[in-house]
Each structure stands twice: as structure tokens, then as C-alpha cells.
Structure 1
Amino acid sequence: MKIALVHDYLNEAGGAERVLRVLSEMYPKAPIYVAFAKQGTAKKMLDERGKRIVESSWGWLLKIGRMYSYLRCCLPWVWKSVDLTAYDLVITSCSGYIARGFRVKPGARVVAYCHTPPRWLYGYDTPTGANRQWWGKAFMWVVGPFVRYFDYQSAQRVNTWIANSREVAKRIEKFYRQKAEVVYPPIEMPEVRRETVAKRGDYYLVVARMVGGKGIREAIAGARKAGVVLKIVGETVGAGIRKEELESRNVEYLGRVEDKELAKLYAGARGLVALSRDEDFGMTVVEAMAMGTPVLAFNGGGYKETVVPGKTGILIEGTDAKTVAEGIRRMEQIKWEREKIGQWAKKFNRARFEKEIRGVVGA
């Protein structure tokens, strides 16, 4: 059986790219088709593993500046240029760039692992927040109906849907009228020495891309009000949060760090702060818990599926500075059983992911 993998595009590395990496290791002979691939952490991660990456015929244009964002109205033609008629099984890892609508042969099976239907297309927070601006709304008024039609029609060509959370499964049913199996993403953290885990620091941690929808500004304000140190890990993306916004007496911005260093930061933190208001799943939350670290998260989206209040963390109802600060103070009052937190996170391990994916895919 000839298998191909498809992914939206390769730019910055996030949770979706980690899932893609695991899929590429599960199906090592499968080439990876993308709309475009910029030189960056995501492409490097796959290049280092010798993966064959194939760009669409639009790739050269989409890589120029932020053309990939401006040309979303051209997505039907981008994906129609991708010829997968040589393959019997196509597994697509899709989200905001609608990695569907490619050409397949009659009888070929298409399985979609969906991180979320396009957030920008259905009114959810986006990295830049452009869809909340007047010009973003004008753009959506013009191209939205056309792209939504393509999104819906291409969704009907998928044989099997897999969602990364119950939250996303609800969105798939709402926007595509399709049922989806839920397979949580694989969580992998490097081993760290036991004495490192036992030695907790005096800081709270945020791990996210530096964009508006991730609650970075709210976490900074809440930590300042609570009087605690906040360390922030993550790449700056496009027109996201500016570096000067991260410069504060209680904030240490670390940028992108290697996985081993990230594991140590998780292990040393008093808690992880995760304030995205409608998170699709939230892999960083489970990564923190895998290191025995409790989580302060907004009570919404995928966080409701991973955080057990009082046992693995706290869910709060708002993201204003006062509510976040109160949440941090509550975190300080609880004697967390860190080994039990780590045990809970093991249910999201890679072996479980691979078994469930193969069970659904049948290959």
C-alpha cells in the first residue's frame, strides 16, 4: 500500500508539527506534501530525519513574506495542484490551511487528523488577531463565503475524520456535519534526572508561540499582580507580541529552547500558566503535567479535557489580571502530589497515540 502524508505548511514548529513528526516516523516511507515549506524549525526537524518534503506548485509564491496569509482565497487552487493519484492511502494533518482538496485516484482512502477547522474562517482567535480588525472583517466578508464553501466541500471527500480533542470533534460536527473519532496527540518529554524534578524553582512558566490568542499579555499582568517570576518560552511569529512587551522586571523571555532544556524548565516550575480562551487541545499543558507540574488554565476548550481541578491543576473563569493572580495564589496553597500528576499525563503517551491511530487507519 502506497501512503502519503499531507500537512498545511511548514513554518514555525508547534503542536501540529510535533504530531506530523510522529506520523512521519510511523509511516517512514511516506513523503510529506505541503502547501509550502519555509526554512525554519519545523522543516529542520523533518530534514534531520531524512523526510522527503514535496511543496505545491504555489510554494515559491506562498513563501514570499506573508503571502501565504494574503493568498488564502487561493487555497482551492493551491491544493488542486497537489497530485496524489499514485497513493492508496492519504493521511492529512490539517488545520488553518485546509490541507484537503488535493487530487486522489478513485478508491483511495483519505484520513484527516484535524487539529481544528480553520480558526480564521469561523471566528476563533487567531495568532495575529487580524480577523477582529476592520480590514480583516472586510477581507472575510469578501472571501469568507467562497473559502468556507471549499472547506465544507473538501471535508465531504474525507473518508475518516480524527479529532485531536472532543472540543475539535464538536467543531467538525458543527461546520462539516461529520462525526470524528477522538485521538489525543502524543506527548513526549525527554527524561530528566530525578534530582532535577525534585528541585523546584521559584518561577511560573508559559510555553506558547508569541501571539495574541495565547494569553501571554494576560499571564504577564497576572504574574505581576501576584508578585511571582514568570519565564516565557516560545517563538515570535509574524505580527504577534513584540519583544519589548516581554521586557518586565518579573518576566524572563527565553525564546525557543531545545526539548531537553524545556523539560528541565517544566520540571523546575511551580506551575504552568495557560490562558488561551478556546484552545484546540493544549499539548503544553500535558507536557507540564508529564513533568509533575500543576497547571493554571482557563476553563475552556481542550483544557477542560486535560486538567483535573484540584488534582493536576486549577481552571479559572477569566483571564484578567485579578483572576489570574488569585489563581496563582490558590496554586500556592495546594500541596500538589507531583508523582500523581505525572501518572495522569501518561495516558497521553506516544504508544497510545500510535495504537489508536493504527486502529482507526487500519495501516
Structure 2
Amino acid sequence: MPDIVLAHDYLVQVGGAERVVAEWAAGFGARRIVTLAFRPEATFEEFRGLDVQATLPRALAGQVERLLPALPSIAARTRVSGGDVALVSTSGWAHRFRFEIPHVVYVHSPARWLYAADDYRLRLSPLRRAGLAVSTPLLRRGDAEAMGRASAIVSNSAVTQQRMRDAYGLDSVVVHPPVEPVSTDAAVPARDLPDAFAVVVARDRGYKNVPLAAAAARAAGLPIVIVGSGSESLDDPAQGMHGLGRVTDAELAWLYRRATVVVGAGREDFGLTVLEAALEGTPAATVAAGGYLETVQPGVSGFHAASATADDLATAIRRARDLDPEASRDWARGFSRDVHLSRLARVIEEVVQRA
């Protein structure tokens, strides 16, 4: 196995992309990660024992997205060297680093702030939205030039693969993210929850469409547990909404196991959470869009809604709750860590051989 250096946008949250990088570190034995910012207390514990080289000082790590106007130039000055090859996890920044070794770029999504601006700009002030709109053409040119320097490009789903063609005119191979149980232990969250409930795992992002998930669960006669940073603001037990905020992996495992169904209502590039839930025997009800078309097998691990409406998603919830838990587990095992690492290793080895 070549000496692999990892690179990632920034390690300041607990998310699907960060979990993928943690799996790489363990699976490939990589010990060094280059990133823009690192908040060890806010991301996966696995990173604390690694050599994490962050460009931004710790005092700015929690404000990294507020530095958007300066981030392209900061990323371009972030040097990646040593080792035989870099394995790059990006949804906007890490592919812009200054690589002095061959590098394989694994794309979770083309930069939302450039290519899905309607989703991203919802969280910006009017002044910052206007500034981003004006600068987008120039920023896209620099972004495309950086992506074009990759030794190889890998997309996390067929959806992302098509978005890469649309955004950059570049082809890529698809390697789905690794999916493993989030925890071998299960811990009951420290609050009362209903005996039967739906669950949605989504940080506070507009494109996650939590209101639709909540409305669909209500229409299906189920309260909903909402997990993820910012979800505590949605807590309203009287309306059947239980916003827990961030939870531990053991608590998430308990929620997955006890939930009647996991709901996916957003625009996902892959849809990792429905597979994590499937490993625990819990089926999914999702919109028929994006990565869910790849991560949910209708009639086996869940159902897609006929349309992105609360009524149709509620119908999918009712149908999904009758599915065989073991069939869901079998489906999700096809996305295992070993399958992911084996396919990605072949891409890396080809790049190293060409170098």
C-alpha cells in the first residue's frame, strides 16, 4: 500500500464526509490529514490521535464558513506534500489545495456555494449573497482549473458523477461511501421519547427539507425525532417533533434500532443515513430523487414517495414499516467499508503506477 496523505475541506463537524475520512484513516493506515480548520471537540474522536495539519488557527476554526471570500486563496496556499499520493475528500475546498504529489479527488458534491447556490445562499446575509453572485464566474474558473489538475476523480454516487459532468465537463468513476454500523453499543438518549417514532438525521441546512419530513411523519400518524446540529431549535413535542441536536454514535445507533422508519426528504448526493439505519434493520421512506435512488431499494429496504409531498411521503412511510428488517440489513451490507476501500484502492494504485 502506498503512503497516503489525506486532505479534507475542514474538520469542524460530525457529518457523512468526515466519517468517510475517518474510515480512510483506519482502512488505509493514513496518519496525516491536511485541512483548512480543525476543531477536535466538534468532530469525530478518531481524528484526535492523528497528525492533523490545519491552515487556519484554532481561534478561527469555528468561523470557517464566514471566511468565504478569502477561502479560495487560503485553500490555494494550503500545501500538501510528502507521501506517495494524496487522497482528497472535497465538497468545495480541498481539491483547491496546492498538491506537490499525485492526488485522487473524492467528490461528495461539486461546491454547493458555486453550483447549487440556491441551497447554499439561504444561509447567507443579503450582502454576502450579492457578493457571492457577483464573484461566482471568476470563482468558478479557479475552481474548475483546480479540479482539472486531479490525477483521478471519484464521485460518491451517480448523482454526483452527473453533477461533475455538468459543472466541470469531467468524467469520474463512482465509488459509494463506506457504510458501517455507527456504533456497536446503543445508549438511550437522555430524554423521554415516544414508543414509536420516525427519525430524520439532518443538520440545519435548507436542502435537508426537515419540515417536509416532519409533515409526512405527522400525516402517517408518527411523531418524528430529528437529529443533527441545530435540530434542537425544532423541538416541539406537543406537535410531535423531538429535536435532539447532536447525539453520540451510541445514541444514534439506539435511535436507528428503535425507529419505525428513517425519513429522507432532502436533496442528497448519496443518502448515507438510510443505509446506516438499514444496517440496524430499519427501513426508509424517501423522496424519489438524488442519492436515495441508489441507497434505497424499493420493496426491500424502503420505498420512494410518488412525489415530494407530505401525503405521498406519508404513504411511503406506511408502506415501509411493513418490510422485513433482515432484507434491509442484507441490502446495506453491499455498501460495506471493505467494498469501498477495495474499489478506491484500485484507483489509487493506478495513479501511483502512472506517477
TM superposition score category, shorter chain reference: 0.7 to 0.9
Provide closer, same or farther for how the CA distance between residues 201 and 336 of structure 1 changes in structure 2, counting only shifts above 3 A.
farther
SS of equivalent to 2:95: coil
Provide closer, same or farther for how the CA distance between residues 221 and 248 of structure 1 changes in structure 2, counting only shifts above 3 A.
farther
Cα distance in structure 1, aligned partners of 2:65 and 2:42: 19
Residue identity matched to 1:337: D
| Residue-by-residue CA offset, 1:110-156 (whole Å, 9 max, x unaligned) | 1001111111211256467236x754541222221121111100001
- The aligned counterpart of 1:178 is 170
Cα distance in structure 1, aligned partners of 2:170 and 2:263: 33
Report if aligned partners of 1:35, 1:59 keep a CA contact under 8 Å in 2.
no
| Residue-by-residue CA offset, 1:248-274 (whole Å, 9 max, x unaligned) | 321222222222222222122111011
Number of aligned residues: 340
Report if aligned partners of 1:3, 1:88 keep a CA contact under 8 Å in 2.
yes
Report if aligned partners of 2:11, 2:43 keep a CA contact under 8 Å in 1.
yes
- The aligned counterpart of 1:268 is 258
Report if aligned partners of 1:93, 1:99 keep a CA contact under 8 Å in 2.
yes
Provide closer, same or farther for how the CA distance between residues 125 and 226 of structure 1 changes in structure 2, counting only shifts above 3 A.
farther
Residue identity matched to 1:54: Q
Residue identity matched to 1:340: A
> Is there any run of 5+ residues in structure 1 with no aligned partner, and where?
194-199
Given candidates 99, 103, 116, the residue that maps to 2:98 is 103
Deviation at residue 43 of structure 1 after TM alignment: 5.5
- The aligned counterpart of 2:67 is 71
| 1:2-17 alignment, distance < 5 Å | 2-17=3-18
Provide closer, same or farther for how the CA distance between residues 302 and 76 of structure 1 changes in structure 2, counting only shifts above 3 A.
same
Cα distance in structure 2, aligned partners of 1:146 and 1:293: 45
- The aligned counterpart of 1:197 is none
> Is there any run of 5+ residues in structure 2 with no aligned partner, and where?
187-193
* 1:307 matches 2:319: no
- The aligned counterpart of 1:27 is 28
Report if aligned partners of 1:165, 1:182 keep a CA contact under 8 Å in 2.
yes
| 1:71-220 alignment, distance < 5 Å | 71-96=67-92, 98-105=93-100, 108-123=101-116, 126=119, 129-130=122-123, 134-189=126-181, 190-191=183-184, 201-220=195-214
- The aligned counterpart of 1:339 is 326
SS of equivalent to 1:348: coil
Deviation at residue 28 of structure 1 after TM alignment: 2.9
- The aligned counterpart of 1:196 is none
| Residue-by-residue CA offset, 1:314-357 (whole Å, 9 max, x unaligned) | 1114443333333333335xx31111111011000111111111
* 1:42 matches 2:49: no
Cα distance in structure 2, aligned partners of 1:214 and 1:321: 14
- The aligned counterpart of 1:227 is 221
Report if aligned partners of 1:87, 1:104 keep a CA contact under 8 Å in 2.
no
Report if aligned partners of 1:235, 1:255 keep a CA contact under 8 Å in 2.
yes
Report if aligned partners of 1:215, 1:319 keep a CA contact under 8 Å in 2.
no
Higher mean C-alpha deviation, range 77-86 or range 156-165: 77-86
TM-score (norm 1): 0.86
TM-score (norm 2): 0.88
Deviation at residue 286 of structure 1 after TM alignment: 0.5
SS of equivalent to 1:113: strand
Cα distance in structure 2, aligned partners of 1:173 and 1:127: 20
Deviation at residue 31 of structure 1 after TM alignment: 1.0
SS of equivalent to 1:100: helix
What fraction of aligned residue pairs are identical, expressed as a percent?
Answer: 32
* 1:360 matches 2:354: no
- The aligned counterpart of 2:271 is 282
Higher mean C-alpha deviation, range 163-172 or range 323-332: 323-332
Given candidates 319, 326, 335, the residue that maps to 1:330 is 319
SS of equivalent to 2:104: strand
Cα distance in structure 2, aligned partners of 1:175 and 1:141: 16
Q: What do you get for the CA RMSD once the two structures are aligned?
A: 2.4
SS of equivalent to 2:5: strand
Structure 1 residue ranges, 4+ long, deviating more than 6 angstroms after superposition? none
Residue identity matched to 1:186: P
